[in-house]
Amino acid sequence: MKKWHRLWEQHHTWAGIVISGTLVTICYGFALQLPFFFDDLPVMTWLNHQDWANIWTTSTGGAYYRPLTFTAYKLGLLFPQGARQIVLHAVSLLVYWGSAILVMQVVKLLGKSPKQALLASILFVVFPFMFLAVPWITSLPHHLATALTLFSVYAALKAERDDTTGWWGLSLLATTLAPFAHESGQMCAVIVGGVVIIQYGIRSGRRRIVATVLGGALSVGAFLLRNHIPGVGEARPVGLQDWLQNTMFFLHGLLYPVAPIIGRLVHHHGANDFTLIKIATASLCLLLIWLAHRSRDWRHVACNLWWWACAALPAAVSFRYGGLYISPRLYALASAGIVMLWAYVIIELGKMVRSVWGRRLVWALLAGVIVTQNTLFIYRERSLFVSLNSVYQRVLEAAKDRTNAPLGFVNLPSYLAWPQKTHALIQESVTFIPPYSNVGEFIEVNEEWRASDAVVYTPVLKDTEEIFKAEGPGLDWEQMRQFAIDHSTIWLTRYHEGQFVLNHVGMITADARPVSTDPLVRFEGGPVIESAAAQKTHDGRWAVTITWLASGPVDGKIFVHVRDASNNLVVQANGPTLGGMVPPWIWRSGDRISDVRHFALPEDAGPYTVQVGVYNSDGRFPAFMGDSRCQDDAAPVVIIAP
């Protein structure tokens, strides 16, 4: 035991670095597989049309001036497509990991034990309200401003502890850069100054006061410079209209360990969210007063609360409550102060137990509950990312082939959320394509430009476990037929076995002429089948393409049966063409319908025969191949041999 204690004393910093890095990988490593999405789309489009100078002298179309972050984006865009997404997601993860390390170091410089510092670092990594911000590249400004503020505080505290001027210089440099990463960075100087003065006081600290004042002057200068940049939006205190709701929002963040309990009481028992937050806040205040009195360490509590309050102030003043609710990433800067406070609470509660093992048990229980519930929440939201990513990777695969354009996507999910929320005051959803963008911009930013459109077609929508919003306007039957004519390939998203699956379902060519006077199958009083083919798809399923030629509308329905060598029915893929979207009764004379149907077949059997027929209330249409009528009027159009 003494050996492990010695190793911990000698290497606790490296242990913290490894543990926090491992946690970042476990929770957010999946981000390396994600494309650009959500606000990445308009931001990357804007950056592609800007030179380096414009990044520092103009704002984006959204009136954002974040030149330091946009410079990082621009550097990432120097990499080829496919690599640039990985690079920028990796940068986001590294910045987040770096912030976790800095949280640990700041806690140590505030005079706390290495185990409390490690706990704060772990709590920072699994802070639940960053579930969207970490995998989302456009949230890098929040992480970068947080990292710069943490480094500025770290350098200032180190300068005071070691009585050196050089570290103050680094602190002021980070203070200068923070406002150019994100608007919240303007509070960096206030946070640094407050933490240092609370920790060390103002007596016998001339250099301390000078550095603090200089940091404030640099922040004011950055604010004035920002206001002179063309296109930057004027700061307006619209959040004051919702001061109560906004206060509750940031108190909700401060109370995050009990936020799931509040959420459950609100969503399942009809409790009032603000009332619960007020009660929890009052309880936390009493607990902090008691712990601070017991430990005789009010400074640490004050530092953490100062950090939280200063970090929350800009967003609380600048946003209406609705803007905060949909943007949990706005907790980013405040999260550092919040987790340091809760690490203190956990450690001090454990110290109430006299026995060593009793203390460790209390620490393990309290920390374990918080870390576990937050990790489970992150993984719950992660599944939404994974589900959307699987669909949008197929979108990009489809776009790689130029001959597929113009591409038509149907029921493409742009937004996913779970029906049951965990927390009361944040939106728990993932959006890949926002309302102000489109699938064409998604493809252009992640691959290269392809003509493409997305629509919603409700007749083929199915109930899903998740709440989802599909991209594009809604179409009726006739509009769907025209959509299939206007696009070279049609791609339909279906919900299958708990997953969204995007498949190519065909196309329509209008006013087509017969390619042969001897079609593969002729249906008496109905259409003809010109050809049929089967191909194995990327997911191990089979895609059967049936090419129909219509002589007009058909009062009938289509069946597709797959039978094994013993003539047993293995699978059916019945219904209208193009995934159920274009029924025969809306076909027009000259329509050539390339109809692709997907199904899974056992690998250990076969060969399989695909039979196709048309029927209505009077029975099956007579089916002929050449001069011979098909048995049971089910035409064997293709043989599949797995």
For the chain, which residues make up each domain, given as ranges? 2-352, 390-509, 510-642
**What's the half-sphere exposure (Cβ side, CA atoms, 13 Å) at 524?**
13
Give yes or no for a contact between 575 and 599, defined as CB atoms under 8 angstroms apart.
Answer: no
* Burial (Cβ within 10 Å: 0-12, 13-18, ≥19) of residue 511: exposed
SS3 262: helix
Q: What are the DSSP calls for 86-131, one per residue?
A: HHHHHHHHHHHHHHHHHHHHHHHHTT--HHHHHHHHHHHHT-GGGT
Long-range contacts of 50-53 (CB under 8 A, 24+ apart): 50/74
- Cα separation of 564 and 470, whole Å? 38
In angstroms, what CA-CA distances link 642 with 162, 482, 572, 599, 608?
73, 36, 17, 13, 8
In the predicted model, residues of the chain with pLDDT beneath 70 are: 1-5, 8, 61-62, 204-205, 233-234
- Cα separation of 310 and 300, whole Å? 15
**pLDDT attached to residue 642:** 74
User: Which residues, in sequence order, are bridge partners of residue 489?
Assistant: 407
Give yes or no for a contact between 32 and 83, defined as CB atoms under 8 angstroms apart.
Answer: no
**pLDDT attached to residue 62:** 66
User: What is Dmax (Cα atoms) for the chain?
Assistant: 107
Give the residue from 427, 435, 437, 392 showing the smallest Cα distance to 412: 392
- Cα separation of 332 and 314, whole Å? 12
- Cα separation of 84 and 511, whole Å? 44
Round to the nearest angstrom and report the end-to-end CA distance of the chain.
60
Q: CATH for 510-642, among 2.70.50.60, 3.40.50.2300, 1.10.287.3510, 3.30.930.10? A: 2.70.50.60
Residue 576 is inside which H or E element, if any? none
**pLDDT attached to residue 63:** 72
Question: pTM for the whole thing?
Answer: 0.93
Give me the chain's average pLDDT, please: 94
**pLDDT attached to residue 376:** 98
**pLDDT attached to residue 1:** 54
Residues near 527 by Cβ (< 8 Å), separated by ≥ 6? 548, 549, 550, 551, 554, 584, 587, 614
* Burial (Cβ within 10 Å: 0-12, 13-18, ≥19) of residue 78: exposed
- Cα separation of 218 and 212, whole Å? 10
In angstroms, what CA-CA distances link 319 with 313, 327, 557?
10, 10, 55
Residues near 201 by Cβ (< 8 Å), separated by ≥ 6? none
- Cα separation of 518 and 521, whole Å? 8
- Cα separation of 245 and 505, whole Å? 48
**pLDDT attached to residue 2:** 64
B/e letters for 119-139, b = 16+ CB within 10 Å, e = fewer, are bbbbbbbbbbbbbbbbbbbbb
**pLDDT attached to residue 486:** 97
Q: What are the DSSP calls for 194-221, one per residue?
A: HHHHHHH-STT-HHHHHHHHHHHHHHHH
564 token code pair: 């094994």
**pLDDT attached to residue 116:** 97
User: Which residues, in sequence order, are bridge partners of residue 614?
Assistant: 558
